[in-house]
Amino acid sequence: MKQKPIKEVEIIDVAYPNISIGKFDEDKLVEFKGGVLGEKCRVKITRSRGNKKMGKYIEKIEDSKLENSKEFCPNTGICGGCSYQKMGYETELLLKHNMIRKLLKKSDIKVKDLSIVRSAKIKGYRNKMEYSFGDAYKGGPLILGLHKINRFYEIVDTNGCNIVDSDFESIRKHVQSYFREKNTNFYHKKTHEGLLRNLIIRKGMYTGDIMVILVTSSDESFDPMRKELFTHNLLNAKTNGIIKSIYHVVNDSLADAVKVDSIELLFGKEYIEERMNDLVFKISPFSFFQPNVYTAEKIYKNSIELSSVSKSKNVLDLYSGTGTITQFFAKVSNKALGIEIVEEAVEKAFDNARENKIENIDFIAGDVLEKINLVKGEYDILVIDPPREGIHPKAIGKIIDINPEEFVYISCNPKTQIRDIEIFMEKGYKVVKYQVFDQFPRSRHVETIALIQKI
């Protein structure tokens, strides 16, 4: 069987979020995932159809000239997390702005004065991290960190990670050291044996509240005594914030993602708190909360400013999560209703609304596709903030049929957002305003808001 060729490629263009167009052999082009504009790399040609070639990124040969920052994470190029660590922040913003501009142009969406709102912080901004237990090489010492780039089994020690608060690194190192001393085995994905799987840390950046979630297999070696010893030891970790909550989750799923077979509160409260503007939010172990609270504040404020909300108007918030944006809109509208499929999130949404003394608000637990029929024709402004895959194809028609004055579409994935906007445009709508936010500095991703109105 003929081996697929590996070519030295120069990346001459990029498409959001991580598609590179590379040139090789003087005039041939290949499309692949990964890399940075201007970088020279090796790419395996995996498919050829006429002039169009697809490839797989193999390795970097030479940094892009855009990567000229002198301050970057020591794990850059090893860890699979950040992509723009070596860029100056202004360069990163320009690159993201340009990719979104091209994405809009490709779908013939005309936006006046497109701009990107910078993050208030580019270091230490993340309020949640999910670490994995493993080793850097077979038989190596236990490591608690992130997956190595393009490697399923190898884990990188994230010492020096600059997108997390210092308390995250303190806790991670403390837990890693504790289980090394105890000679505790991590869960091996091939054999499905071992105990340790993940460590999740959440922090209220304005409150200092910290939640730690240890995820293990159901291995019986982690008995009540060992849980007590782990909890006592963890509370001795040196942190600026205060550990308010420690959980143990059992996950026997064969998948790498965290699945909850059972959950036990080992210490403290069932939730931590975070403040955003003048509101307080309770965050439970697996409820969604924006990972960059500093930019999230701007996103929610801007979504209200873009809309025509007033005290005489009713607001419907789809995919409402723990009701964060629902509450912001409720404060400036006649009433607001949120629909969310995760029951735990809806329970917390009610708790948060009571905590903030917001009474003109309600929530429905259930799938938007099913529950949308209950509210048809009652709302003036419809807020949409779906998961990364966008609006379900079967739901989008029902959503449009509500026929409000306007839609405020918030998205962490502009590609699926623009795909959905094309359907709105086919139904006689247009994008009146569009704003980009750098919600995820040093990564390839952004958050966007589209204000959509009937033509």
Which of 435, 418, 413, 383 lies closest to 112, judged by CA? 435
Q: Please indicate whether residue 41 is annotated as part of the active site.
A: no
Write out pLDDT tens, residues 384-411: 999 999 999 999 999 999 999 999 999 9
User: In the chain, what are the domains?
Assistant: 6-62 (2.40.50.140), 94-120+291-454 (3.40.50.150), 128-276 (2.40.50.1070)
Count of all residues that appear for the chain in the document: 455
Which of 299, 304, 343, 297 lies closest to 320, judged by CA? 343
Give strand pairing partners of 117.
437
Residue-by-residue DSSP string for 58-113 = EEEEE--TT---S---TTTTTBSS-S-TTS-HHHHHHHHHHHHHHHHHHTT---TT
CA-based torsion, 41, 154, 121, 271: positive or negative: positive
H helices present in 316-359, as ranges: 324-330, 343-355
pLDDT at 254: 87
Residue 1 clears pLDDT 70, i.e. is over it = no
- Residue 385 labelled as part of a binding site: yes
Going by pLDDT thresholds of 50, 70 and 90, the confidence category of residue 309 is very high
- Residue 290 labelled as part of a binding site: yes
The terminus-to-terminus CA distance of the chain in angstroms comes to 57
Contact 393/369 with Cβ under 8 angstroms?
no
Residue 2 clears pLDDT 80, i.e. is over it = no
pLDDT at 51: 74
- Residue 379 labelled as part of a binding site: no
- As a whole number, the mean pLDDT across the chain is 94
Residue 251 clears pLDDT 90, i.e. is over it = yes
What does the pLDDT average to over 4-30? 94
Round to whole Å and give the CA distance between 360 and 372: 19
Round to whole Å and give the CA distance between 166 and 17: 28
Copy the structure tokens of residue 119: 């993050």
pLDDT at 54: 96
Residue 423: how many other CB atoms lie within 10 Å: 15
pLDDT at 277: 87
Write out pLDDT tens, residues 75-117: 998 887 899 999 999 999 999 999 999 999 999 999 989 999 9
Residue 203 clears pLDDT 80, i.e. is over it = yes
Residues 6+ apart with CB under 8 A from 293: 127, 205, 206, 274, 276
Angle among Cα 245, 251, 252 to the nearest 5 degrees reads 165
Write out pLDDT tens, residues 296-306: 999 999 999 99
Task: Write the burial class of residue 405 (CB in 10 Å: 0-12 exposed, 13-18 middle, 19+ buried).
Answer: middle
3-state secondary structure of 305: helix
Residues 6+ apart with CB under 8 A from 191: none
pLDDT at 199: 98
- Residue 319 labelled as part of a binding site: yes
More confident site: 153 or 44: 44
Going by pLDDT thresholds of 50, 70 and 90, the confidence category of residue 182 is very high
Q: What is the pTM of this model?
A: 0.92
What is the layout of strands, in order, in the sheet containing 262-268? 155-156, 143-147, 128-134, 196-203, 209-216, 242-250, 262-268
Q: Which amino acid is at 210?
A: I
pLDDT at 255: 85
Which candidate in 41, 79, 161, 412 is catalytic? 412
Residues 6+ apart with CB under 8 A from 1: none
Residues 6+ apart with CB under 8 A from 3: none
pLDDT at 234: 98
- Count Cβ neighbours within 10 Å for each residue of 262-290 and write b for 16 or more, e otherwise: eeeebbbeebbbbebeebebbbbbbbbbb
